[in-house]
Structure 1
Amino acid sequence: MTGTGSRDEFDVEQTTVELPELGRFLRQLRERSLNGCRRAGGMSRMELATLTGHGAGYIAKLEQGGQATPSPAVVDALADALGCSPGQRQHLHDLRDYRPGEGDRPVTPCVITDQNRIYVDTLTPALAGFVDDAWNVLYANSEYRRVYRRIADPDIANVLLWFFFVPESRHIMVEWEQEALLTVSWTRALMVRNHLGGDQFTTLLDQLSHSTEFQKMWNSGDVALGRHKAEMLVRDLDSGKVLNLRAQVLKWPEPASPLQLYLAIDMNAPPRREGFLSLMAAAPCRAGQPHLMEHDREHG
């Protein structure tokens, strides 16, 4: 892709991104750990082995994928020794049971009804729409489409594709790099935690692999299970105004529905703010998954 928004155009030779693996993530954590004795950072396998009470050979086998799945207690010991964040610790545990291609849960097809559309449309001037587990934008109201320019185009219609292949996204998202990395890191974490897979998700990753920036962010191994701050800065290209958006992705209340509602309000818009805050507070339970996300999914 060239950044024009067309899925038929490409800016780099495609390189398939690596699927998450316990051994690879453990090695990345060890090489970045600040708990080691190396001046430049990182920890040797021997240091990690000493801190956890396991041999360096065992650590090497874990990193190379040649060792049996570690117990939860071993994972916790590794996380303690490495100084992992809560999100990194959770991801290590999630990776224990994750085998790419084995037991993957395909992205469930979603049906948008007329009632769904009416509900989302009535939330204007809030930015609202429906997304699925793969960040496909299934339906969005006029304000969502206006602010996140071109995100609902038929050849995009996906949050991740919008970030990396629509040039306007870099002007709209004031902190584009942080928000793009957050979205990628959350997607990576949720892919493992919810065992997402199937043809649709694989196709999406193949498309994203045409972006060198996506490749770099994805292969960094970073994971996120929440936002770095409550709001995000989004530029309204029509007015030039910077919106201070608080956004959430909420599970749709119908038990069998995989739909997730994206809802964002401008915290600098007091005339309507209280009503929408009440709406968000009364909304059904959160998706527990990522976005355009809190990624609370809270995000944009």
Structure 2
Amino acid sequence: MIEQRYTIGEYVRERRHSVGMSCGEMAVRARIPRVVAEEVESGAREPSSDTLTQLFDALQVPVWFRGHIGSLTRPDFLPSGLGAVPDTPTPDDLADLRSLTHPACFQVLPTFDIVAANSAYQRWFPGVEAGTNALEWMFLNPAAKAVLPEWSAEARLLVNAFRVLSPGLADDKRIAEIADRCGRAPEWDRMWTAPLRPDELHRDRVLVRDPVTRRNRGMIARIYAPEFPRRPWMLYRLVPGA
């Protein structure tokens, strides 16, 4: 079973700490009483949708991350009676993944641990297999820069997602492990502290070197959350553009 580990209040508190903001400053920016902000963080108050939106706005949490944060932190988000959720892909899950002809993998957010990758993904991204961390592959495997002509832009997006999502949602020890390993790369510290422009956050095209033709190919990035059956990972796909 996947354990419900973090609350929405814990995420708000850890996100606030990560951006160097006091509770009072956050409350002012969110236009809510400080006591409300304190009660949300402590778990004494369950925030309404409006309050949570105001807090996320104050903390500059990208809109497209908010639904996933809710699914990880709100115990009432997942309906009861759906049965056990496996920690690792079942044979049926793997058959589903293998049926996709273009690169695809199962990733656990916010740590970007890859729990399974189909054969196309492994051909396009050498060195990736079940158990690979996408961040560590991006920064430490020389193949990353070879197959991603726009490596810097892709790496910045990945680091930003990890930095925004991880505090309060992932185990502190696991966050530190990934950051320490990636810190061996000379680009890591600069990318960790550099904010992204809004136009950079909306990139949905990935330029990849085709392993067959050796030519650069633009692919559309898609991320899907399994609805039925429920799974704790996301399906990441790269598909040819129209």
Q: Which TM-score band applies after superposition, normalised by the shorter structure?
A: 0.5 to 0.7
Q: Take 1:92 and 1:115, find their aligned partners in 2: how far apart are those partners? A: 39
1:117 aligned to 2:94?
yes
* Contact map agreement 2:117 2:130 (CA 8 A) in 1: no
Question: Of the candidates 59, 80, 85, which is equivalent to residue 92 of structure 1?
Answer: 59
Residue 103 of structure 2 corresponds to 127
Match of 2:224 among 250, 256, 259: 250
Change (3 A) 1:135 1:225: farther
Runs of 4+ in 1 over 4 A off after TM superposition: 20-24, 221-226
Q: Which amino acid aligns with 1:92?
A: L
> Cα offset for 1:132?
0.5
CA deviations on 1:18-75 (whole Å, 9 max, x unpaired) are xx8747746xxxxxxxxxxxxxxxxxxxxxxxxxxxxxxxxxxx5xxxx543354x21
CA distance in 1, matches of 2:213, 2:58: 41
CA RMSD of aligned residues (A): 3.4
1:76 CA displacement: 4.9
Separation of aligned partners in 2, 1:237 and 1:122: 20
Q: Which one-letter code corresponds to 1:171 in the other structure? A: A
Q: CA contact under 8 A between 2:104 and 2:237: conserved in structure 1?
A: yes
Distance 1:153 1:182 in 2: 22
**For the residues of structure 1 that align with 2:199 and 2:57, how far apart are their CA atoms?**
9
- In 2, Cα distance between the equivalents of 1:69 and 1:25? 14
Residues 247 and 262 of structure 1 are in contact (CA less than 8 Å); yes or no, is this contact kept in structure 2?
Answer: yes
The match for 2:50 is: none
For 2:214, what is the secondary structure of its paired residue? coil
Counterparts of 2:98 and 2:18, CA distance in 1:
44
Q: Which amino acid aligns with 2:57?
A: Q
- Write the deviation string for residues 192-231 of structure 1: whole angstroms up to 9, x where unpaired: 4x63224333322221222221121112354879843331
CA shift in 2, pair 1:135/1:24, >3 Å: closer
Q: TM-score under structure 1 normalisation? A: 0.53
Task: Flag the 1:251–1:147 CA change in 2: closer, same or farther, 3 A.
Answer: same
Equivalents in 1 of 2:201, 2:23: separation in Å? 33
For residue 206 of structure 1, what is the aligned residue in structure 2? 180
* Structure with max Cα Rg: 1
Looking at structure 2, the residues matched to 256 and 198 of structure 1 have their Cα atoms a distance apart, in angstroms, of: 25
Aligned residue for 1:185? 160
Among 146, 152, 168, the residue aligned to 2:143: 168
Distance in structure 1 (CA, Å) of the matches to 2:58 and 2:212: 40
Q: How many residues align?
A: 185
d(CA) in 2 for partners of 1:188, 1:225? 18
Matched-pair contact (CA < 8 Å) for 2:125–2:144 = yes
CA displacement 1:75-130 (0-9 Å, x = unmatched)? 158xxxxxxxxxxx736266xxxxxxxxx98xx98311110111011111x11111
Aligned twin of 1:159: 134
Q: Which runs of 5+ in 1 are unaligned?
A: 1-19, 27-61, 78-88, 95-103, 269-300
Uncovered stretches (5+) of structure 2, i.e. residues with no partner: 1-13, 32-55, 62-71, 74-84
Query: In 2, Cα distance between the equivalents of 1:128 and 1:21?
Result: 30
- The two structures have a TM-score, normalised by structure 2, of 0.64
**Distance of 1:143 and 1:91 partners within structure 2:** 41
Counterpart check, 1:197 vs 2:164 = no
C-alpha change, 1:205 and 1:23, in structure 2 (3 Å) is closer
CA contact (8 A) 2:87 2:232 kept: yes
Contact 1:189 1:225 in 2 (8 A): no
Q: 2:25 aligns with which of 45, 50, 70?
A: 70
* 1:250/1:262 contact within 8 Å kept: yes
Query: Secondary structure of the equivalent of 1:263?
Result: strand
CA distance in 2, matches of 1:257, 1:225: 31
Deviation at 1:256, TM superposition (A): 4.8
